[in-house]
A and B are shown apart, each in its own frame.
Chain A
Amino acid sequence: MRKVMIVDDSVSMRQMVGYTLRQGGFEVIEAEHGQDAMDKLQGSAVDLIITDLNMPVMDGITLIENVRKQPNMKSKPILMLTTEGLATKKEQGKAAGATGWIVKPFDPEKLLQTVAKVLP
């Protein structure tokens, strides 16, 4: 079963994204912020990361930059899932190494279609 990590400081968002992904047949790991995600990635390989942008401790852009530094994570798909829709922020995410950008609120069916597209 494919494994997806959800990174968001909102409990309810992690629940809703997690529910959607589990309905799609994925195993889900949750993290509260970027640093929590980095810690959990040490112990668990994932197929995809879906992360929020604005989080305490470590934000989404910093998380992506740190993840891309890992040798086995250079080509791992990372989707940004955030309320932020500014073009400048998107460019920052793209430059950091994000695979895609989804503006909240997400449509569950669209999310699963996007995940299917980015997973090899």
Chain B
Amino acid sequence: MSDPVPGSPSSGIAEGEPDEPGMRTEFARYLPHFSLMSKQLRQTSLLIESSVVDVCKSFQGIAERAKGTVGRTAGFLSREGDGDSGKTSFEGLIENCSGTLIKILSTTEEAGEVSRRAIDRIHQMDKASQLISTALAQLEQIDRENKMLAMNMRIEAAHAGSNGAAFGVVAVEVVSQTERSKKVVSQVKGLIGGLRELAQSTLADLKQTNEQDLKRVERCRQDVDESLRDMQVAHDEMKTVLTGMTEENALLANDIGSAVRGLQFQDRTSQQIAHVVDDLETLQLKLNTRNGAAPPDGFVSGEGFSGYTMREEREIAGIGGKESAAGDVELF
């Protein structure tokens, strides 16, 4: 004989009522699964939250490192440099190098200018010695004329006889003075000659050195200009790289922002799981009570299922209401 169907007149059991003890046994078998499902859902929610928290921490690190790298590079390149450490910026280094090199070139050019002035003065000294030589030549001419004069004086003294004796003495003295003058002139000529040779050789050396210095200065100037151009090119390239890095940083920030928006699924998922867990626990409680267990204090049958807080939940449950879309912002 089959078991009476609940609700049938012969069953003695009202429709919807559990038939003792079959239904209770059936309930009792399945009720523990509600606890298990609740625990598993909670665990799942916690695992998801833990992963999202780790990802958020990574974003923080990525953003800070990117910002730090760009900031340090910008500080290195900028004119201000790094005030905290006292280090000079790259632009500052270029300016310092440029200033130092220009000072070195100026100093070298000044040295060259001194050489040129020395050359000019030696030229002037040479001209002066030429004039002295000319004056000596004139003195020699005077000596020769004096000698001729003295000869004539002696001849006239001889013609004058005893009256010309004094004249003869003067003539002899003139010849003597002339001879002495000739010796002095000869000495001076020798000295002038030596001085002129010295001046000529010094002049030749100075000219050679000056020409070499000029060539070296010119080569240095070209090398300096080339080095400064290379440094400027390197600086410009670094600035271009920095601009690229700054743009990449902005794009990275945008990407992280998009990821932050996407990761918020975890919060909504956790809430939905929590609502399902709450409902499972409520269901378990209701079925336990229905199965004959004593209800907890304050428990009211027919109530207790979770109020939905998200549009998606209300849509599934068929509950309507005017509501804003996700991401909406309203200021009161």
Contacts and interface: CB of A to CB of B under 8 A. Distances in A.
A23 interface: yes
Interface string A1-27: 000000000111101100110110000
A13 B327 contact: no
Interface stretch (B79-87, B130-138, B165-173, B255-263): B255-263
SS class, residues of chain B in contact with chain A: helix
A62 interface: no
A99 B332 contact: yes
A69 interface: no
Nearest to A87: B322
Interface string A97-111: 011111111111110
B103 interface: no
B49 A19 contact: no
A102 B330 CA distance: 6
B325 interface: yes
Given A83-B309, A99-B332, A105 B327 contact: yes
B22 to A, nearest CB: 41
Contact of B324 (A10, A85, A108): A85
Interface in A57-85: 82-85
Interface string B242-284: 0000000000010001001111111110110000000000000
A11 B325 CA distance: 24
Contacts of B235: none
B260 A19 contact: yes
Interface string B311-332: 1000000000111111111111
A40 interface: no
Interface size class of A (residues with CB under 8 A): 35 or more
A12 B311 CA distance: 21
B49 A12 contact: yes
B264 A105 contact: yes
A106 B96 CA distance: 51
A15 B56 contact: yes
Contacts of B152: none
A12 B260 contact: no
B327 A103 contact: yes
A84 B310 contact: yes
B267 A108 contact: no
Nearest to B52: A12
A42 interface: no
Contacts of A104: 264, 267-268, 326
B53 interface: yes
Contact of B323 (A10, A19, A23, A86): A86
Contact of B329 (A12, A15, A114): A114
Interface of A: 10-13, 15-16, 19-20, 22-23, 53-54, 82-88, 90, 94, 98-110, 114, 117-118
Given A54-B271, A85-B311, A90-B330, 8 more contacts: A10-B267, A13-B267, A15-B52, A15-B53, A20-B260, A82-B309, A102-B328, A102-B330
10 contacts: A10-B267, A12-B52, A15-B52, A53-B309, A83-B309, A85-B311, A85-B324, A101-B332, A106-B264, A108-B260
